[in-house]
């Protein structure tokens, strides 16, 4: 028994996808990323709660099935329970899925051996009842010797009772989970079975909605077509629902640019504000509606449990390419951002699978590519419909995501033959039951993702735009060796112009001119910088024309032929380059951090950039 304290540390632990992170948010008030996909928590998350006069430090540990660590995230989960660890908690809040207690109590029995006071929290009681399972909670509590509570991580029901119980003296488990040195897991399951025989009763059960729909959604043939159909609907929504908000944002920035242009004197301050800062930010902020809509639908797919099914059906494909189904979670996460996706590879036990997943994940089309894709698609793809209902633009966007996915799978197959195997690969994943979406959680996810996009990308774009404005507004004075303002029509004579003209011969076979070349270089800071760079260049070139970047690029023509600069061939070539090129310094830094070897990020940069160049060259030469 433990005496009451004015300050305690509590650790949330349990199997993956049991609701730990939801309870963490309810207890601490933080809004941490929650997904209905096993393995979302890959590191320790720490929050604080003030309960009466007690300061409670709450640690959310990664979910794991046993204390036999096989991956990085499981090692993180177990290290905190060691006696020598200064962060060792005063009490464990063990969260268990009531509908699958037999499996959930295995890890509980192993943690009981650490002699840390425990509270058993049962979640998903509604699912347990639908499965005909009745629990004798009083007897279960007496048998274990620790408090047993019921909580609903989705609604927060029962959390107040948990918080009140948390600050009271807790008890270590006194149930004798028999341990056999030769086969400890089998002996533990015998003890668990005996316990559940006395504390649970199985009645007739109804067939769950999950059990009725899963044969369709996970069908070995139709499952893939359903997934493609869902993605097509999402991408169609990205274009159609975002159309009017984007127009309003463009009008707002145009009005702001015109207002500043009219009230400020004609000097460098006006130029840097209108053609540098405003133009650069406008080119990115305008895509917030599309980013928000994409994350909205992806959050629904995660929260309902559908994304876990994608991992299941994709395992059939990935296994033949030298990967396991556990690679699906990072690969799908790469559609949002490669950085957390690469960190999510920590739960892949097999070294070879993990390295290959790290190397190919950046080929997945991340959210930073979305502004590039949608901008370029709007320039060359007509606003027409296939069969009267399917947007041609949505099909093109789906095609770009398919290209990125196909490239990552082909690259994985190639690396399979060059990277030596270390240990065996296997895939064990529990499919969660389907849930109705948690709209508050989805709203918070969309808000934080959109906010992160604006703040993180905005800082880089602001710096790049101001620097680029200087390079595009001034040029070398060859007579005096100093700088001087260039005329509006002499953008090619600016520093940016000279730089672009220098690299133009290397990119001309891809269909790119010197303006695009500048954007390619600045985009290595972050892919979305492409849009801000183009916006700044076109604003400096024609600063009296306060119009959206889409309008300026669409009206740009070749001086000799009068043909559009951004033809279909150029647009396809440019999108393919952005689909394959490694244009994210932060991703390379994370790869080095995760692998602890410089050769892997170097290899990644070289092969992705080379692939981008060759693929763009082939596409342009075939389509021009």
The mean per-residue pLDDT over the stretch 193-206 comes to 82
Q: What pLDDT does residue 274 have? A: 74
Quick one: 547 exposed, middle or buried, by C-beta within 10 A (0-12, 13-18, 19+)? middle
- Asked whether residue 564 carries a pLDDT value surpassing 70, the answer given is yes
Encode pLDDT of 333-361 as tens digits.
777 778 777 877 877 777 888 888 899 99
Contact 621, 509 (CB under 8 A): yes
- Asked whether residue 427 carries a pLDDT value surpassing 60, the answer given is no
The mean per-residue pLDDT over the stretch 469-483 comes to 60
Q: What pLDDT does residue 429 have? A: 58
Q: What pLDDT does residue 91 have? A: 92
Contact 464, 522 (CB under 8 A): yes
- Asked whether residue 36 carries a pLDDT value surpassing 50, the answer given is no
Encode pLDDT of 532-543 as tens digits.
778 777 776 665
- Asked whether residue 559 carries a pLDDT value surpassing 80, the answer given is no
Q: Identify which has the larger pLDDT, 607 or 235.
A: 607
List phi, psi (to 5°) of 122: -100, 125
Q: Tokens 């969660």 label which residue?
A: 432
Strands (E), 146-254: 148-150, 200-202
Q: Which stretch of 193-197, 405-409, 439-443 has the lowest confidence by average pLDDT?
A: 439-443
**β-sheet bridge partners, residue 150:** 122
Percent of the chain with pLDDT over 70: 85
Q: What pLDDT does residue 508 have? A: 92
- Asked whether residue 522 carries a pLDDT value surpassing 70, the answer given is yes
Q: What pLDDT does residue 548 have? A: 67
Q: What pLDDT does residue 52 have? A: 85
Distances (CA, A) of 211 to 101, 130, 172, 438, 620: 19, 12, 37, 21, 48
- Asked whether residue 179 carries a pLDDT value surpassing 80, the answer given is no
Contact 14, 107 (CB under 8 A): yes
Q: What pLDDT does residue 541 have? A: 62
Q: What pLDDT does residue 5 have? A: 62
pLDDT bracket for residue 484 (50, 70, 90): very low
pLDDT bracket for residue 71 (50, 70, 90): low
Strands 200-202 and 133-135: antiparallel
Q: Which of 304-313, 477-486, 495-504 has the highest mean pLDDT?
A: 495-504
**β-sheet bridge partners, residue 425:** none
Determine the 3-state secondary structure of 56 from DSSP. Answer: strand
Distances (CA, A) of 420 to 317, 355, 423: 20, 10, 10
Identify the CA nearest to 93 among candidates 170, 157, 25: 170
**β-sheet bridge partners, residue 12:** 60, 93
In whole angstroms, give the CA distance from residue 595 to residue 608: 18
**β-sheet bridge partners, residue 13:** 94
Strands 390-391 and 474-477: unpaired
First to last CA, the chain: 78
Q: What pLDDT does residue 478 have? A: 42
Identify the CA nearest to 143 among candidates 221, 195, 183, 96: 195
Q: Identify which has the larger pLDDT, 305 or 140.
A: 140
Strands (E), 142-238: 148-150, 200-202
Angle at which helices 568-580 and 599-623 cross, to 10° = 170
The mean per-residue pLDDT over the stretch 352-374 comes to 87
Q: Identify which has the larger pLDDT, 567 or 459.
A: 567
Chain-centre distance for alpha carbon 481: 48
- Asked whether residue 38 carries a pLDDT value surpassing 50, the answer given is no
Written as six digits, the tokens of 242 are 């975002």
In whole angstroms, give the CA distance from residue 202 to residue 221: 35
Q: What H or E segment, with its residue span, contains residue 385?
A: strand 385-386
Q: Which stretch of 57-66, 177-186, 539-548 has the lowest confidence by average pLDDT?
A: 539-548
Per-position b or e across 438-470, b if 16+ CB within 10 A of its CB: beebbebbbeebbeebbeebbebbbebbeebbb
Helices (H) and strands (E) in the chain, counts: 27, 12
In whole angstroms, give the CA distance from residue 374 to residue 36: 29
Q: What pLDDT does residue 621 have? A: 93
Percent of the chain with pLDDT over 90: 15
pLDDT bracket for residue 37 (50, 70, 90): very low
pLDDT bracket for residue 524 (50, 70, 90): confident
Q: Which of 68-82, 360-374, 410-424, 526-540 has the highest mean pLDDT?
A: 360-374
The mean per-residue pLDDT over the stretch 291-318 comes to 79
- The number of residues in the chain equals 624
In whole angstroms, give the CA distance from residue 615 to residue 576: 7
Chain-centre distance for alpha carbon 265: 45
pLDDT bracket for residue 34 (50, 70, 90): very low
Encode pLDDT of 130-173 as tens digits.
788 888 999 999 999 999 999 987 788 899 999 989 888 778 88
Written as six digits, the tokens of 318 are 């990935």
pLDDT bracket for residue 430 (50, 70, 90): low
Distances (CA, A) of 9 to 6, 56, 117, 184, 186: 10, 6, 11, 29, 32
Q: What pLDDT does residue 204 have? A: 67
Q: What pLDDT does residue 485 have? A: 47
Q: What pLDDT does residue 30 have? A: 65
Written as six digits, the tokens of 282 are 């406008």
Average model confidence (pLDDT) across the chain: 80
List phi, psi (to 5°) of 50: -105, 110
- Sorted by where each starts, the structural domains of the chain and their CATH numbers stand as 7-202 (3.40.50.300), 241-286+442-566 (no CATH)
Q: What pLDDT does residue 538 have? A: 77
Q: For the chain, how are helix, strand and coil distributed in percent, rounded to 5?
A: 60, 10, 30
pLDDT bracket for residue 488 (50, 70, 90): very low
Encode pLDDT of 203-239 as tens digits.
766 666 676 788 888 888 888 888 888 888 887 887 7
Determine the 3-state secondary structure of 529 from DSSP. Answer: helix
* pTM over cut 0.95: no
Q: What pLDDT does residue 65 have? A: 79
Written as six digits, the tokens of 427 are 């895939």
Q: What pLDDT does residue 482 have? A: 43
Q: What pLDDT does residue 573 have? A: 95
């Amino acid at each position: 028994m433990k005496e009451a304290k004015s300050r305690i540390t509590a650790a949330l632990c349990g199997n993956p996808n049991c609701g730990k992170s939801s309870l963490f948010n309810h207890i601490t008030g933080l809004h941490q990323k929650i997904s209905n996909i096993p393995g979302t928590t890959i590191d320790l998350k720490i929050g604080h709660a003030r309960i009466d006069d007690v300061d409670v430090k709450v640690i959310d540990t990664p979910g794991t099935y046993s204390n036999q660590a096989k991956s990085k995230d499981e090692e993180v989960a177990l290290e905190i329970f060691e006696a020598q660890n200064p962060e060792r908690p005063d009490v464990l809040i063990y969260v268990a899925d009531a509908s699958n207690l037999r499996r959930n109590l295995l890890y509980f029995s192993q943690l009981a051996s650490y002699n840390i006071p425990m509270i058993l929290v049962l979640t998903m009681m509604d699912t347990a009842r639908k499965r005909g399972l009745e629990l004798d909670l009083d007897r279960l509590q007496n048998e274990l010797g620790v408090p047993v509570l019921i909580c609903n991580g989705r609604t927060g029901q029962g959390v107040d009772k948990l918080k009140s119980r948390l600050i009271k003296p807790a008890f270590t488990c006194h149930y004798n989970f028999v341990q056999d040195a030769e086969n400890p897991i089998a002996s533990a399951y015998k003890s668990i079975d005996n316990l559940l025989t006395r504390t649970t009763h199985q009645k007739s059960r109804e067939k769950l909605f999950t059990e009725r729909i899963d044969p369709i959604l996970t069908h070995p043939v139709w499952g893939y077509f359903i997934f493609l159909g869902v993605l097509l609907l999402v991408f169609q929504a990205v274009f159609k629902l975002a159309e009017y908000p984007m127009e309003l944002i463009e009008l707002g920035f145009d009005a702001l640019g015109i207002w500043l242009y009219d009230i400020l004197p004609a000097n460098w301050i006006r130029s840097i504000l209108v053609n540098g800062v405003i133009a650069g930010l406008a080119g990115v902020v305008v895509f917030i509606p599309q980013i928000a809509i994409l994350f909205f639908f992806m959050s629904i797919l995660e929260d309902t449990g559908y994304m876990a099914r994608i991992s299941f059906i994709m395992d059939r494909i990935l296994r033949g390419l030298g990967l396991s189904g556990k690679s699906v979670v990072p690969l799908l996460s790469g559609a949002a951002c490669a950085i957390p996706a690469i960190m999510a590879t920590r739960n892949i036990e097999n070294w070879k699978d993990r390295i290959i997943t790290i190397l190919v994940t950046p080929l997945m089309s991340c959210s930073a590519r979305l502004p590039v894709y949608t901008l370029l698609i709007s320039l060359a793809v007509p606003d027409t419909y296939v069969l009267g209902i399917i947007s041609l633009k949505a099909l093109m966007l789906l095609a770009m995501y398919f290209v990125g996915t196909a490239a990552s799978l082909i690259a994985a197959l190639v690396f399979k033959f060059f990277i030596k195997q270390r240990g065996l690969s296997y895939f064990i994943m529990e499919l969660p039951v389907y849930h109705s979406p948690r709209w508050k959680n989805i709203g918070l996810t969309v808000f934080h993702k959109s906010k992160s996009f604006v703040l993180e990308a905005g800082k880089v774009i602001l710096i790049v735009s101001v620097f680029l404005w200087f390079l595009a507004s001034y040029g070398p004075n060859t007579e005096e060796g100093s700088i001087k303002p260039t005329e509006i029509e002499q953008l090619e004579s600016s520093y940016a112009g000279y730089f672009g003209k220098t690299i133009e011969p290397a990119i001309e076979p891809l269909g790119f001119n010197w303006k695009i070349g500048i954007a390619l270089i600045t985009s290595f800071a972050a892919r979305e910088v492409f849009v801000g760079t183009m916006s700044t260049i076109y604003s400096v070139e024609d600063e009296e024309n306060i119009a959206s970047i889409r309008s300026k690029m669409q009206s740009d023509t070749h001086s000799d032929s009068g043909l559009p600069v951004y033809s279909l061939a150029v647009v396809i070539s440019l999108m393919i380059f952005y689909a394959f090129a490694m244009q994210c310094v932060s991703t390379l830094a994370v790869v080095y951090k995760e692998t602890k070897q410089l050769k892997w990020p170097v290899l990644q940069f070289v092969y992705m950039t080379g692939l981008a160049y060759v693929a763009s060259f082939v596409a342009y030469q075939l389509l021009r």
